[in-house]
Amino acid sequence: MGSLNPFKWQGSNKVYSLPWLKNRLEYSADPERIAEYAKTPFTRSRFVMTMLTQFHLSRHSIVVSEDDHAMWLKRVSRSHMPTDEAVPQMAIALMTRLFPPPDPGEQEQSFHLSDRLIRELYRTMLGNVMQVEVLKPLEDYITHTKFPHGSRPMVLEGVMYSFRLGLPFLRPIRYFFDSLFFKEVLYMKRVSAKLEQMVYDFTIPKPDSWFSTLAALRESGKITKAQFRGEITSMLVSSFSLASALGSALLCLAARPQYQKKIHDDPAFARYFVMEVLRLYPPFRQFGYQQTTTDKDAHHQGGFAHEFMIPVFQLHRNSNIWKNPKKFYPERFLDPDAAKGFKYLPFGMGKRSCPGRNFSMSLIVQALRFVCSDESPVMLVKRDSLPRGKSGRLVSFALDDTITYCGK
Ligand code: HEM
């Protein structure tokens, strides 16, 4: 019977401990359990790093680096993030490119948000975060490239990881299956490698920019050429998470136009609106950690499995901790304690949490405020329903992402 019962359950949390699993893997959407875990020494899980590199991330980026490297490089990147004063202009430029004036005679215009948003955010990240001037070949490549958001389903990634199918000598087999079933994965890997090369070849860094600082670190030998290029690719992935979040925010706004005036009038409320969007539609549906100690027994101290996964989507919709979790209700964040206590984690937690969180939050808030303002030349056309999230992927985009707008 034991072998027919594939997963072993322990306590209120799921602990997967199949014999063929590389390590015991615990899933928890319980804030108390997460809080307990947060007191222990942990780092980003290998499983998540594997998934991220299978997405289209370079193997040399900060995201998949060891803690020491990530820590100081994160400080460098934080010190180059756009200031709060710079973000509103950036948001206006972004929204203006996203919603060009409808053609003469056209009442309304519709398009699929995610592809266009990824492209425009990529431009924003290059111009304002990496701070480079983009030369024509790169500009043309970005304009004409499609950016699908495909990755393999998470369950499949998990199985591959457990069976160690990531090993280099198995690459041809993976390639074969990807070319049969997951063409987008291969396509995105190609696009990402090409972009990395083109950003390297066809940009001019502004003085004191993030890019020129990275170049100086490269010159002095503090980072390798591969790591320098890896940071370029991490921009690509963060453009995807930001596109997912901003896309969901615009779709929610179109579905709930009654909030437009409040967003226009009250910046604090605009922030609650974005928080609610990230609660219901966290771009990273799950992420995870592992203990940093090398002592094997210590992995299980406090009953923690070797890898600790947080299904953020479930955590944010857990009815034991959220009132009416499925209801889109930004007002819940008027309560200053609403997001406290490890129940709201769209940007992760602890030392490996997202360094782009403040920038991302203010960019989305400012973008929405502009769309709701009198100065905005466009008006979103009401949608009938809130977006539905695409499940089972590493970075989740809205499924039904057609947005319609008209000129004012
Ligand atoms: C709404 C948009 C974004 C969301 C929801 C998001 C979410 C996340 C999450 C969940 C993690 C993993 C946290 C953890 O393991 O604890 C992460 C890591 C990271 N994010 Fe973001 N992110 C966003 C935008 C950005 C942007 C715009 C940047 C860059 C400017 C960025 C840079 C990074 C980096 C470098 C890491 C790795 C940090 C480390 O390894 O220690 N993210 N992000």
Which domain, by its residues, includes 394?
2-407
Q: Please state the pTM of the whole predicted model.
A: 0.93
Q: What's the CA gap between 164 and 170, in Å, rounded?
A: 9
Q: How many domains does one find in the chain?
A: 1
**Ligand 1: distance of its center to the CA of 218 in Å?**
23
Q: What's the CA gap between 404 and 397, in Å, rounded?
A: 17
Look up residue 138 and give its two tokens: 């790169």
Residue 50 CA: distances (Å) to CA of 158, 282, 288: 9, 20, 11
Residue whose tokens read 């027919």: 4
Work out the burial of residue 262: count CB atoms within 10 Å of its CB; fewer than 13 is exposed, 13-18 middle, 19 or more buried: middle
Look up residue 63 and give its two tokens: 């995201």
Task: Return the CATH number at 192.
Answer: 1.10.630.10
Ligand 1: which residues within 6 Å by Cβ? 44, 62-63, 70, 74, 129, 234, 238, 241-242, 245, 283-284, 287, 346-349, 352-356, 359-360
Residue whose Cα lies nearest atom 41 of ligand 1: it is: 352
Q: Which of 121, 310, 347 is the pocket-test mutation for ligand 1 (most atoms within 8 Å of CB)?
A: 347
Q: Which of 388, 407, 311 is CA-nearest to residue 102?
A: 407
Render each residue's pLDDT in the chain as its tens digit; 408 residues: 233 334 444 444 566 655 556 667 788 899 999 999 999 889 999 888 888 888 878 888 999 999 999 999 999 999 999 999 999 999 999 999 999 987 777 789 999 999 999 999 999 999 999 999 999 999 999 999 998 877 888 888 888 887 788 788 888 888 898 899 989 888 988 998 899 999 999 999 999 999 999 999 999 999 999 999 999 888 888 999 999 999 999 999 999 999 999 999 999 999 999 999 999 999 998 889 998 876 555 555 566 767 888 999 999 999 999 999 999 999 999 999 999 999 999 999 999 999 999 999 999 999 999 999 999 999 999 999 999 987 778 888 999 899 999 987
